[in-house]
Chain A
Amino acid sequence: AQSVTQLGSHVSVSEGALVLLRCNYSSSVPPYLFWYVQYPNQGLQLLLKYTSAATLVKGINGFEAEFKKSETSFHLTKPSAHMSDAAEYFCAVSDQSNFGNEKLTFGTGTRLTIIP
Chain B
Amino acid sequence: DTGVSQDPRHKITKRGQNVTFRCDPISEHNRLYWYRQTLGQGPEFLTYFQNEAQLEKSRLLSDRFSAERPKGSFSTLEIQRTEQGDSAMYLCATPARGTNTGELFFGEGSRLTVL
Which residues of A come within 8 Å of B, CB atoms?
9, 32, 34, 36, 41-46, 49, 51, 90, 92, 94-96, 99-109
Contacts and interface: CB of A to CB of B under 8 A. Distances in A.
Contact of B109 (A32, A42, A96, A109): A42
B111 interface: yes
A109 B41 contact: yes
B interface, size bucket: 20 to 34
B42 A102 contact: no
Interface of B: 2, 4, 31, 33, 40-45, 48, 50, 56, 91, 95-96, 100-109, 111
Contacts, number: 67
5 contacts: A43-B107, A45-B106, A90-B42, A94-B102, A104-B102
Contact of B103 (A46, A101, A108, A109): A46
A102 B43 contact: no
Contacts of B108: 42-43
B41 A34 contact: no
B45 A103 contact: yes
A41 B96 CA distance: 22
Contact of B42 (A96, A101, A106): A106
A96 B32 CA distance: 18
Among B50, B95, B104: residue with most chain A CB under 10 A: B104
A99 B45 CA distance: 17
Contact of A102 (B33, B41, B109, B111): B33
Given A42-B109, A43-B91, A43-B107, A103 B43 contact: no
Nearest to A98: B102
B106 A99 contact: no
Choose among A9, A41, A43, A94 the residue with the greatest number of B CB atoms under 10 Å from its CB.
A43
Contact of B101 (A9, A43, A49, A100): A49
